[in-house]
């Protein structure tokens, strides 16, 4: 059997994290199947170097979410004589003539169309999601909440959708060395207690309300030294966040670090005083689980999949209320018994997520799809 995986986002955040972990675990458990990874030229060498010989990179220059991919990806699959294609995001070109599995992480572009660049992008997202849901042989998604969202939007049988949770990169679980702690403290001048956010800074991540909540908390006695560190995209992408920082006169207290390497992130999770993730919508929400796995108290939204994912291991707040976010942070920072409970429960909850277990299930889905009758 020859399986192709669309790996053009291999080194990206978000979907890229999903692709890297799925591919890495498949390489560990399956040395027999031939895998073809459609990738960017810049990623070809990394894939060829890090993966075993049954994983073969094939450069596909068509950009994701473009008209070109609608033609070029099917041609590549025919040329490589692919039996099954896994699209790890919601684009499944209609000209594909082999069995297919598509991962739909969430339907945020349908629920929050105002966050897309324009009406054309919304129409493309809707058409792509509809086509992927209807034409694929199996849909993978990352939470029961996302499964319900997909069922509400598209008329597909419930048994066509398989929930396979995301998981934590094992490299985050290893305790960093004292030298690593010292390096990160010095590199980023971490001389104050800080609240931490990790993720991209798109509007649905709700960072303007987080900044407002942080401002309210800092005005209270005892929190004057607290800082807020935001790890993810560069602030230049969203000028509204810069304006929010200056509106609250927080330019000395809110820091945007952009991308940081995984070893640095592992230290930051352990140095922070609280992790805050007030997103309005998540298909899964991996950063809170990463923070819990590092023993950090978590404050997150009571919305979408986040209560399902964190279980009883985090404080849940109303993401639309800066007061609620601030109160959650206050409780996590000041109540010693609560902090101990959150640490214990968070560590236990995080251990329930495993890429080894999740990717074994994905590999089983490949076999189940191949065993089904197929009509081209």
Contact 31, 112 (CB under 8 A): no
One domain for residues 31 and 57 = yes
CB atoms within 10 A of CB 189: 8
What whole-number distance in Å separates Cα of residue 133 and Cα of residue 36? 23
One domain for residues 109 and 94 = yes
Contact 129, 361 (CB under 8 A): no
Residue 5, SS3?
Answer: strand
One domain for residues 174 and 133 = no
Q: Percentage of the chain with pLDDT > 90?
A: 78
At 356, phi and psi to the nearest 5? -60, -45
Render 338-353 in DSSP notation, one character per residue: HHHHHHHHHHHHHTT-
Residue pLDDT, tens place only, 285-322: 999 999 999 999 999 999 999 999 999 999 999 999 99
What whole-number distance in Å separates Cα of residue 201 and Cα of residue 13? 12
199: left (phi over 0), alpha (psi -120 to 50) or beta: left
Write the burial class of residue 139 (CB in 10 Å: 0-12 exposed, 13-18 middle, 19+ buried): buried
What whole-number distance in Å separates Cα of residue 14 and Cα of residue 338? 31
Contact 29, 355 (CB under 8 A): no
Contact 213, 326 (CB under 8 A): yes
One domain for residues 213 and 301 = yes
Contact 101, 369 (CB under 8 A): yes
Domain with 156 in it = 2-167+355-371
pLDDT band at 155 (very low <50, low <70, confident <90, very high): confident
First to last CA, the chain: 17
Residue 94 lies inside a defined structural domain of this protein: yes
217 pLDDT more than 90: yes
User: What number of H helices and E strands is found in the chain?
Assistant: 15, 13
CATH number at residue 307: 3.40.50.2000
Once rounded to an integer, what is the mean pLDDT over residues 103-111?
91
One domain for residues 188 and 92 = no
Question: What is the average pLDDT score of the chain?
Answer: 93
| Both tokens assigned to 339 | 């902090």
| Both tokens assigned to 345 | 């429960």
Query: In terms of DSSP bridges, do strands 34-39 and 55-59 run parallel, antiparallel, or are they unpaired?
Result: parallel
Contact 304, 281 (CB under 8 A): yes
Once rounded to an integer, what is the mean pLDDT over residues 97-101?
96
Q: Which residues fall within 8 angstroms of residue 252, CB to CB, at 6 or more apart?
A: none
One domain for residues 215 and 174 = yes
One domain for residues 175 and 52 = no
One domain for residues 180 and 247 = yes
Number of domains present in the structure of the chain: 2
Residue pLDDT, tens place only, 334-357: 999 999 999 999 999 999 999 999
One domain for residues 175 and 266 = yes
Residue 366 lies inside a defined structural domain of this protein: yes
Residue pLDDT, tens place only, 57-80: 999 999 988 889 999 999 999 999
Contact 23, 5 (CB under 8 A): yes
Residue pLDDT, tens place only, 244-299: 998 999 989 999 988 888 899 999 999 999 999 999 999 999 999 999 999 999 99
192 pLDDT more than 70: yes
At 313, phi and psi to the nearest 5? -95, 10
Which is higher by pLDDT, 13 or 177?
177
**Token pair 């105002």: residue:** 114
Contact 191, 225 (CB under 8 A): no
Residue 86 lies inside a defined structural domain of this protein: yes
One domain for residues 278 and 143 = no
Whether pTM exceeds 0.85: yes
235 pLDDT more than 70: no
Residue 29 lies inside a defined structural domain of this protein: yes
What whole-number distance in Å separates Cα of residue 90 and Cα of residue 14? 13
Residue 376 lies inside a defined structural domain of this protein: no
pLDDT of residue 367: 97
One domain for residues 200 and 321 = yes
Residue 88 lies inside a defined structural domain of this protein: yes
- 315-317: strand order across its sheet: 254-258, 227-231, 194-198, 274-277, 298-301, 315-317
Residue 215, SS3?
Answer: helix
Render 265-302 in DSSP notation, one character per residue: HHHHHHH-SEEEE--S--SS-HHHHHHHHTT--EEEES
One domain for residues 210 and 187 = yes
């Amino acid at each position: 059997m020859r399986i192709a995986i669309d790996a053009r986002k291999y080194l990206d955040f978000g979907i890229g994290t999903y692709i890297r972990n799925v591919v890495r675990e498949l390489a560990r458990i399956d040395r027999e199947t031939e895998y073809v990874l459609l990738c960017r030229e810049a990623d070809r060498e990394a894939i060829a170097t890090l993966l075993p010989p049954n994983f073969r990179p094939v450069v596909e220059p068509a950009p994701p979410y473009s008209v070109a991919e609608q033609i070029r990806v099917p041609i590549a699959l025919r040329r490589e004589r692919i039996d099954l294609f896994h699209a790890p995001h919601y684009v499944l070109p209609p000209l594909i003539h082999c069995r297919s599995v598509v991962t739909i992480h969430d339907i945020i572009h349908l629920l929050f169309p105002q966050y897309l660049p324009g009406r054309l992008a919304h129409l493309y997202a809707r058409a792509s999601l509809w086509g992927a849901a209807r034409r694929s042989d199996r849909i993978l998604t990352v939470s029961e909440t996302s499964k319900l969202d997909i069922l509400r939007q598209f008329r597909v049988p419930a048994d066509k959708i398989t929930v396979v949770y995301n998981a934590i990169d094992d490299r985050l679980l290893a305790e960093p060395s004292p030298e690593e702690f010292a390096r990160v403290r010095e590199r980023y001048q971490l001389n104050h207690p800080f609240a931490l956010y990790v993720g991209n800074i798109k509007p649905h991540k709700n960072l303007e309300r987080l900044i407002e909540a942080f401002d309210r908390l800092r005005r209270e006695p005892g929190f004057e030294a607290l800082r807020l560190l935001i790890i993810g995209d560069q602030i230049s992408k969203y000028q509204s966040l810069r304006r929010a920082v200056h509106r609250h006169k927080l330019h000395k207290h809110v820091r945007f670090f952009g991308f940081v390497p995984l070893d640095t992130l592992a230290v930051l999770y352990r140095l922070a005083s609280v992790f805050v993730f007030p997103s309005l919508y998540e298909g899964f929400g991996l950063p809170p689980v990463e923070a819990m796995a590092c023993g950090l108290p978590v404050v997150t939204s009571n919305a979408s999949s986040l209560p399902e994912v964190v279980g009883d291991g985090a404080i849940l707040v109303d993401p639309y209320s800066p007061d609620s976010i601030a109160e959650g942070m206050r409780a996590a920072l000041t109540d010693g018994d609560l902090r101990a409970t959150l640490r214990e429960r968070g560590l236990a909850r995080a251990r329930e997520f495993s890429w080894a277990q999740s990717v074994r299930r994905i590999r089983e889905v490949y076999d189940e799809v191949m065993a089904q009758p197929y009509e081209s």
